[in-house]
């Protein structure tokens, strides 16, 4: 049931009504401009005088598309305000609200905790600040949520191992409320091959976290082979270069490795050249599971409705609906049963195994 105060965004072809599954969305690239501006002003950090000027610094502009570095430059200012526990929870709540208004009913957010420790928050605090935001949002909107912890490639495999351990500490299976559901490695692929992160992925796997990785966005198919063969990734972020390798495409289909497709973002970063067809259609032809994802709603100036509307040029509303329905099965939210539910009944735990009181 829709509540009157949670307005739905208008859309074409009934796209707004599709129950959407979002599996690849970053916190720092998705903070609504209004919220960033409000926090900037509150903390007196605003580098420009007006919200309009601020928007140009946060959202990729016409003429800036086609280069990953120009895209990444937009993540500079959000980091100024997301160094504080309350701010992080607040921005996360606002992201969930927007997603809900776009018809998202299952939302996996992702986040690189280390980028939010510069003012003194510990890794654990930065993770729990996001979880607080997700839990608050969940009380207001009927939406399933979970958090994927990201290790940044350029910070190296050792830091990634530390992050994998921190991620396990807040894993959903140990909590009644929203927790960490997955682990990801993101950032510059060149010079930081996936295979170096094997130990971090082994740790995450040992904690029953779902495994995904940004691969094949800025590198060739070999990066995706490594992600699947060496790291055991069950999902691939972007994966654009996979279409260059038919054997890899068959492998992704055979093992049902889902590709998290980010249509708008891929053209903006240059992962897919302007004018070229998006690999999403070839993935579908091969029977590779896909998810329609926004990547960064603010930087990419998009949302779930816009992504689906863009794809509706080639796919019917029924096909889009089916993609979301199938993507749900690949969510990490339900992948691991809650460990608390699997504990033996309380009286079993309390029964003493030895009675030392009598002699
Ligand atoms: Zn991404």
Which residues have their alpha-adjacent CB atom under 5 A from ion ligand 1? 295
Which residues span the domain enclosing 24? 17-338
Q: How far is CA 28 from the centre of its chain?
A: 11
Q: What is the distance between the terminal CA atoms of the chain, rounded to a whole angstrom?
A: 65
pLDDT of res. 339: 54
pLDDT of res. 1: 37
User: Is 4 within a domain?
Assistant: no
pLDDT < 50 stretches in the chain: 1-6, 347-352, 355-359
Ligand 1 mean position, distance from CA 196 (Å): 19
pLDDT of res. 323: 97
Report the CATH number at residue 243.
Answer: 3.20.20.140
pLDDT of res. 352: 45
Please state the domain count of the chain: 1
User: Is 79 within a domain?
Assistant: yes
User: Is 354 within a domain?
Assistant: no
User: Is 263 within a domain?
Assistant: yes
Long-range CB pairs of 239-244, under 8 A, 24+ apart, other chains included: 239/215, 239/279, 239/283, 240/216, 240/266, 240/271, 240/272, 240/279, 241/216, 241/217, 242/216, 242/279, 242/283, 243/279, 243/282, 243/283, 244/220
Whether 217 sits among the annotated catalytic residues: the reply is yes
pLDDT of res. 340: 54
Q: What pTM was estimated for this model as a whole?
A: 0.91
Is 149 strand, coil or helix?
strand
User: Of these residues, 108, 217, 219, 226, which one is catalytic?
Assistant: 217
Ligand 1 mean position, distance from CA 214 (Å): 6
Is 21 strand, coil or helix?
strand
Q: Is 44 left (phi over 0), alpha (psi -120 to 50) or beta?
A: left
User: Is 9 within a domain?
Assistant: no
pLDDT of res. 13: 72
pLDDT of res. 341: 57
User: Is 343 within a domain?
Assistant: no
User: Is 102 within a domain?
Assistant: yes
Is residue 311 within 8 A of residue 41, CB to CB? The reply is no
Ligand 1 mean position, distance from CA 294 (Å): 9
User: Is 2 within a domain?
Assistant: no
Alpha-carbon distance 166 to 168, whole Å? 5
pLDDT of res. 14: 86
Alpha-carbon distance 99 to 20, whole Å? 9
pLDDT of res. 357: 47
């Amino acid at each position: 049931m829709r509540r009157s105060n949670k307005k739905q965004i208008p859309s074409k072809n009934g796209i707004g009504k599709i129950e959407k599954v979002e599996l690849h969305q970053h916190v720092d690239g998705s903070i609504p401009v209004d919220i960033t501006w409000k926090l900037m002003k509150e903390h007196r950090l605003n580098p420009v005088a007006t919200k309009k000027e601020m928007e140009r610094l946060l959202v990729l502009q016409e003429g800036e598309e086609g280069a990953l570095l120009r895209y990444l430059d937009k993540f500079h200012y959000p980091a100024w305000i997301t160094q504080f526990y309350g701010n992080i929870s607040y921005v996360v709540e606002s992201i969930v609200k927007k997603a809900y208004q776009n018809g998202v009913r299952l939302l996996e957010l992702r986040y690189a905790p280390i980028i939010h420790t510069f003012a003194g928050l510990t890794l654990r605090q930065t993770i729990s600040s996001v979880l607080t935001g997700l839990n608050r949002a969940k009380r207001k909107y009927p939406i399933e949520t979970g958090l994927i912890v990201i290790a940044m490639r350029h910070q190296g495999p050792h830091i990634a191992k530390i992050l994998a351990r921190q991620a396990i500490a807040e894993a959903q299976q140990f909590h009644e409320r929203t927790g960490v559901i997955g682990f990801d490695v993101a950032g510059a692929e060149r010079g930081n091959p996936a295979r170096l992160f094997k130990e971090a992925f082994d740790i995450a796997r040992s904690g029953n976290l779902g495994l995904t990785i940004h691969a094949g966005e800025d590198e060739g198919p070999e990066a995706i082979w490594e992600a699947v063969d060496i790291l055991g990734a069950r999902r691939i972020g972007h994966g654009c270069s996979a279409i260059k390798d038919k054997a890899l495409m068959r492998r992704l289909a055979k093992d049902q490795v889902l590709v998290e497709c980010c249509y708008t973002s891929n053209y903006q970063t240059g992962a897919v050249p302007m004018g070229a067809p998006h690999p999403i259609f070839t993935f579908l032809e091969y029977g590779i599971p896909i998810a329609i994802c926004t990547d960064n709603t603010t930087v990419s100036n998009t949302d779930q409705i816009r992504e689906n509307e863009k794809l509706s040029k080639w796919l019917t509303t029924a096909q889009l609906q089916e993609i979301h329905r199938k993507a749900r099965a690949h969510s990490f939210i339900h992948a691991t049963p809650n460990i608390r539910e699997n504990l033996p009944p309380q009286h079993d735990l309390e029964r003493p195994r030895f009675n030392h009181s009598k002699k």
